[in-house]
Amino acid sequence: MEKIVKLDEIPQQKLKDLLKFPCAFTFKVVGKNRDGLIDDTLLVIQKYAKGDYNPRQNISSKGTYNSVSVDIIAENIEQVEILYVELAKIDGVKMVL
């Protein structure tokens, strides 16, 4: 089973060492399945990383939760960190991976 490592568990310098910017980076926003979750996710991402995005969603088998994945080109570690923080503030979001 794959271990999920949260951003705050990796010291910033180590994360910088693992990534070479600019680089492809995927954000997965997991939250309550509701109208507007994809739009809200894209609105936040567009604020910090302009571009045309093709979000992917995966709705849970009972329809309770939705995960929205968006690939961006991250320019620096600060951009990645602010997106984690801002995406987590979206209404109904349970976690950002």
C-alpha span between 66 and 93 (Å, rounded): 9
pLDDT of residue 3: 43
Angle in degrees, CA 33, 39, 43, rounded to 5: 130
pLDDT of residue 17: 74
pLDDT of residue 2: 45
pLDDT of residue 19: 86
The pLDDT of residue 1 is above 50 = no
Reported as a single tens digit per residue, the pLDDT across 19-70 is 899 999 999 999 999 999 999 999 999 999 999 999 999 999 999 999 999 9
The pTM score is 0.83
Q: Residue 12 — φ and ψ, nearest 5°?
A: -55, -45
Please, what are the domains in the chain?
28-96 (3.30.70.260)
